[in-house]
Structure 1
């Protein structure tokens, strides 16, 4: 296996070296920094354009999160300009560059005329492809207007969201989701549910990091998804108001307000939403006797009328205490109330497929959730660029309560009516402390070190009435202390980064009702390394390695948290262990004038990988065996694949984003258990699955400046040890029009046009059950959204200063 991996990696690397574009002429390095005039805050994603005075050919680069830029150009005579949306261009005309040049610090100031017209939510390129990550800017993406964060993620390259809201990266569900670069208590106990409730309008961008460095939390064998919330950047008062309505019955509103000056930045987001998300599912099952003969058939039909009503608010302030010290405080809360009448009909048939009786099970669920989080950040910048110290603290509480009354009866037999009640109370407390130090060394060196402590406690109390064996109280305590260090540098066109992270974990999973206590203490080293070679300013290749961990949480551990179906029950495993992953990624990035292309080959090798099994519980309902689905640790999982992402703009009025991912997933391992008859049952889970998925997004500007966007997705079939999932295709469309001098817009989007987004499974347990199932979490939805954006101009004194500057910024340190 290792030889095959090495051969594949070397072949791909040599191919990239062969076909990469070679630079022509003398290459020189251009560097510098871009800041906002007055506040001295760095401007991320500012563009530095070099236009050759003779050929008019364009080159250049963009600034990083610290406002720094560094790129190569061919020596020559150039017109140079710095550009940033809603800021005045800074220009250097007709200058000869024959050697490496540092342009110093470029000061850019806001353009008052533009601020009166510009949209607060800027229309950046929807997807920015970088070598180490992909950045999806929500911007004016019409597909997510009025939607949720879950809808946002479903549009991100390499990311998929299935029918139940489970997020996967490159098909791997072992992914860590961060909010503003850190785990958020707002995600509560079930991250998938939280993402369905947070509004899309609160998100500025999503960063996808497939192979993180040692600086990042080692959690997430498949990589990291970082959700960056919106915060105003333009001086003065600015904001936006959005209202939406849709079918099935949905309506909501959100308000973004910001006030920014040289000494502070106030930011806020408030929202209200009311959503109906009807869904449905079906299971056709054939049950067998021990000799393999058919015993009966059952057709299960389920409808869900989900209703949620929620409020959310986020407000905070950035205080510029000095020119080098910033203090940020933010408070966020979310409240949501929901209902979910879960109505299930079980159509029973005998061995000859003749109908016998129909059982109805109505699970009338109600829920209420409340989350609150406070976070604080100190950032101290030193004299040298990139030399800084940051300190973060966050504390959060999350409460989620569910109550359900279950009515169960055989239709036509009133005497068979049985009533059952369940309550599920979840409480979570999370505290986070983190500090990071960055020290530039020499011309290109960079040293980083830091500490992070994450401490959380979850208490889940599940009660079934009348008294049932399924009642339980689960306590989960997780304390993780981590230290990391890393160093990187650049030698000509070659750059490298080495890192090492140490994490000490103390985990307690205590089933208080069963007096079952599980304590797990372990510590791990997580090395990482990245190598990068730049063939030119538009072409580069990278090779990276990292070690990751995936800790089980939530429903993976909880013995039982729902009894919607009394014959198909999901049961957590309190004794499940974390899995460890070694990830290798080989990537290549190439930019042309109208096309950006990024491809990568990757290999993930996981020990103690999670696998879901189905087995008989020993319980029976009307003679039907109760089947339990539970997660276990398997010995090995190998995942290898390749993907490519592209941004193509064939014309000014047409933009295309595409993503394709194909992978091979191999599992190896056996699972043995003792069934209710005392027999030892051994299941072999050796399996090889080949699958792929693709997504393409097209945005076209029609006459009268009407934007039309279409997204198409296809998930190919995939086999597993006990069956397979079938292929599913889906499509979304949207139209948008700006008016009132581009201050307002109206958009119409249709999610899941053909009502085809489902999870379709075939399962086979020999001599027990064979089944076919379909699950649709949310049916087709139509949404109409109106957005209005506003800006308040600065005071007259500031406007007068801008007129005296004649619209030009300053190049500081420019010779």
Structure 2
């Protein structure tokens, strides 16, 4: 839990007392026939410097209300397409006159066509659309000096645990996309990429908890789409940014973006470099029992890690506009991340009477790197101004990762003397991933506010992971055959979809169906073990939304999703965490399938989402005795292994709440609450599972400027 209930309640009481000392403005807008005007932008401006304070949009009665305003001297500006810009007379909000009714304003039609009026203002940090929640990163000081990883930690409904597993609304299996394209990275590789991605290069983050048929069916928790910046201004533009942050350790970074754009060509590029140092403390308290339930012993571990991260990201590309309705683009993205990890692990072993029996101390160091280079060629043609368009994308990318690791362990008796010889293990791991994909989408609007979408996608991923481990306890490098391995993985997907949307006044309905065929092949060099699988699945979706008031909506959605095991989960490599704790993959994992049901309610001050889902063949992680998982390898009773498994079913109910608040001009708060209950059913190590758990995660981010 990132913030205590006491803190949240204190903040709430502060906001209540503060709101009572704020002002409110009412206004109404009409045309020259004295009929109400809907959709007029009302801008509240300060008298002393004409600075924009707040915006509002008139409703069907031509009315707008601006609330929670600081006392001061103001005037209003009214802007609408086809009307002359109009200003109100100056007025004052004070403690004596905290409510002000602006006299009705009459807008005159423009005498001639002077083009559309554009109002530029910052978007709210959190914005709720019909099918997603949007974090407008560049619009908020809350994102300054942060990484993509830290932004996700602050996002409503998003939780990242100490193993870098991303959950959305309490559910794992999130699909992460970069600029609308699936990232093939997962687990630690994805976390390292996000840690090296500075917020200055991010435009927005879309949180899609129940995606439509247009999106890949992967991810039972939904989709997180990170959209990178791209300058739309004409001429030559550039920005330079730097940041410094201080927590336990400092974080610094700098970046530059350049853009040249004219009517025919747009050329852009950016480069961002960052350095930060992270820390992680993990406390483990493990108790061991026989199958009859008799206690046999325990151990307690205190693992403390530090990991400085140096990262660099670049992006370069160009767009060509052969006509006003056509654009052809090419983009090259690359990144490099270097991480030096140092972990200290102190462990105490207890006997069956609960008394200390021995201790061991482990030092682990890793020099890791993650590099990638991804190219994209894209095409877009608009057939008319009504929204009929055809798009196509081709991507090719390479990802390289590696780790040079050394782990050393000393064993001691209770009196401090040596219990056993030192154990030293060296590891050299290398990974390579190749990604290819092609997709095309067609959108056809019809009359009466309806449209049809259809598309096709092909993708192929190939990975090659090689791990070599050496026992150097005696000063000589001896290959450890129980841990050395070579794993190959290949996955190919074909998908097609159709999506239909219709809008009536306050109602919006969307129906879709997606079909995906998947084939995969794995090969494990040790033991010469191969595995092949293929399947075809259908994924329907439906969305219904209704406008129930001014800036208030309620919606319902349903969809079927799939989570395929990642190549890390399938990789059978045996990784050493410490001498009594290992982690490995499972090449026999099956994909999990989920039905998601969601109801949401949204206002400018509150976003609430109630979710229910049922998942079959649930992908989860279990900690089992090493000798049960690997009966052919000798081990002690207190040695465990972390292993991905399938569990029969999971039922999930969750509530996500998010409330962005502006307490004072220099004080902003983002409050998030995530409450959920999960119940598991299935078999694990011969034991029947029929248990559930409730959890609450509260997060309050305060920013002072």
Counting only pairs closer than 5 Å after superposition, residues 25-64 of structure 1 correspond to structure 2 as: 57=64
In the alignment, the residues of structure 2 paired with residue 322 and residue 187 of structure 1 have an alpha-carbon distance, to the nearest angstrom, of 40
In the alignment, the residues of structure 1 paired with residue 553 and residue 450 of structure 2 have an alpha-carbon distance, to the nearest angstrom, of 20
1:8-50 Cα distance to aligned partner (Å, 9 max, x none) = xxxxxxxxxxxxxxxxx99999799xxxxxxxxxxxxxx9975
SS of corresponding position for 1:193: helix
In the alignment, the residues of structure 1 paired with residue 113 and residue 55 of structure 2 have an alpha-carbon distance, to the nearest angstrom, of 13
In the alignment, the residues of structure 1 paired with residue 609 and residue 131 of structure 2 have an alpha-carbon distance, to the nearest angstrom, of 10
In the alignment, the residues of structure 2 paired with residue 655 and residue 518 of structure 1 have an alpha-carbon distance, to the nearest angstrom, of 53
Mean Cα deviation higher: 409-418 or 625-634: 409-418
1:671-716 Cα distance to aligned partner (Å, 9 max, x none) = 34xxxxxxxxx1112112222223334xxxxxxxxxxxx1xxxxxx
SS of corresponding position for 1:440: strand
User: What is the TM-score of this pair, normalised by structure 2?
Assistant: 0.79
Aligned to 2:588: 575
In the alignment, the residues of structure 2 paired with residue 544 and residue 53 of structure 1 have an alpha-carbon distance, to the nearest angstrom, of 27
Instruction: Select the residue among 442, 445, 451 that pairs with 1:440.
Output: 445
Aligned to 1:409: 410
In the alignment, the residues of structure 2 paired with residue 233 and residue 493 of structure 1 have an alpha-carbon distance, to the nearest angstrom, of 33
CA contact (8 A) 1:50 1:81 kept: no
CA contact (8 A) 1:48 1:81 kept: no
Aligned to 1:392: 393
CA contact (8 A) 2:238 2:256 kept: no
- Residue segments in structure 2 that go unaligned for 5+ positions in a row: 1-29, 41-53, 67-76, 87-104, 471-478
Aligned to 1:181: 180
SS of corresponding position for 2:409: strand
Taking only aligned residues, the RMSD between alpha carbons, in angstroms, comes to: 3.4
Distance of aligned partners of 1:322 and 1:622 in 2 relative to their CA distance in 1, 3 Å threshold: closer
1:573-620 Cα distance to aligned partner (Å, 9 max, x none) = 111101011111122334xxxx43333322111111123222222279
Aligned to 1:242: 242
SS of corresponding position for 2:607: strand
Higher relative CO (Cα under 8 Å, sequence separation at least 6) belongs to 1
Aligned to 1:787: none
The yes-or-no answer on 1:494 pairing with 2:499 is no
The yes-or-no answer on 1:479 pairing with 2:492 is yes
CA contact (8 A) 1:189 1:554 kept: no
In the alignment, the residues of structure 2 paired with residue 695 and residue 623 of structure 1 have an alpha-carbon distance, to the nearest angstrom, of 41
In the alignment, the residues of structure 2 paired with residue 655 and residue 410 of structure 1 have an alpha-carbon distance, to the nearest angstrom, of 51
Counting only pairs closer than 5 Å after superposition, residues 524-563 of structure 1 correspond to structure 2 as: 524-563=537-576
Mean Cα deviation higher: 394-403 or 270-279: 270-279
CA contact (8 A) 1:49 1:82 kept: no
Aligned to 1:154: 153
Aligned to 1:676: none
Aligned to 2:208: 209
In the alignment, the residues of structure 2 paired with residue 410 and residue 296 of structure 1 have an alpha-carbon distance, to the nearest angstrom, of 17
CA contact (8 A) 2:85 2:107 kept: no
Aligned to 2:695: 691
Distance of aligned partners of 1:661 and 1:363 in 2 relative to their CA distance in 1, 3 Å threshold: closer
Aligned to 1:260: 261
In the alignment, the residues of structure 1 paired with residue 279 and residue 655 of structure 2 have an alpha-carbon distance, to the nearest angstrom, of 36
CA contact (8 A) 1:462 1:473 kept: yes
Mean Cα deviation higher: 636-645 or 151-160: 636-645
How many residue pairs are counted as aligned between the two chains? Answer: 612
In the alignment, the residues of structure 2 paired with residue 627 and residue 186 of structure 1 have an alpha-carbon distance, to the nearest angstrom, of 27
CA contact (8 A) 2:186 2:568 kept: no
Offset of 1:504 from its aligned partner?
Answer: 0.6
Offset of 1:253 from its aligned partner?
Answer: 1.9
Offset of 1:362 from its aligned partner?
Answer: 2.4
CA contact (8 A) 2:614 2:651 kept: yes
Offset of 1:337 from its aligned partner?
Answer: 2.2
Counting only pairs closer than 5 Å after superposition, residues 250-329 of structure 1 correspond to structure 2 as: 250-288=251-289, 292-329=293-330
1:203-235 Cα distance to aligned partner (Å, 9 max, x none) = 111111111110011110011111111112333
Offset of 1:485 from its aligned partner?
Answer: 0.7
CA contact (8 A) 2:196 2:313 kept: no
CA contact (8 A) 1:543 1:587 kept: yes
User: What is the TM-score of this pair, normalised by structure 1?
Assistant: 0.69
Distance of aligned partners of 1:307 and 1:52 in 2 relative to their CA distance in 1, 3 Å threshold: closer
CA contact (8 A) 2:38 2:61 kept: no
1:614-669 Cα distance to aligned partner (Å, 9 max, x none) = 22222798844321221211111111233333345577666554333322211111
1:356-401 Cα distance to aligned partner (Å, 9 max, x none) = 4332332222122221011121110112321111111111100101
Aligned to 2:615: 606
In the alignment, the residues of structure 2 paired with residue 53 and residue 388 of structure 1 have an alpha-carbon distance, to the nearest angstrom, of 32
Counting only pairs closer than 5 Å after superposition, residues 444-483 of structure 1 correspond to structure 2 as: 444-465=449-470, 466-483=479-496
Distance of aligned partners of 1:31 and 1:124 in 2 relative to their CA distance in 1, 3 Å threshold: closer
SS of corresponding position for 1:244: strand
Aligned to 2:428: 423
In the alignment, the residues of structure 1 paired with residue 331 and residue 408 of structure 2 have an alpha-carbon distance, to the nearest angstrom, of 45
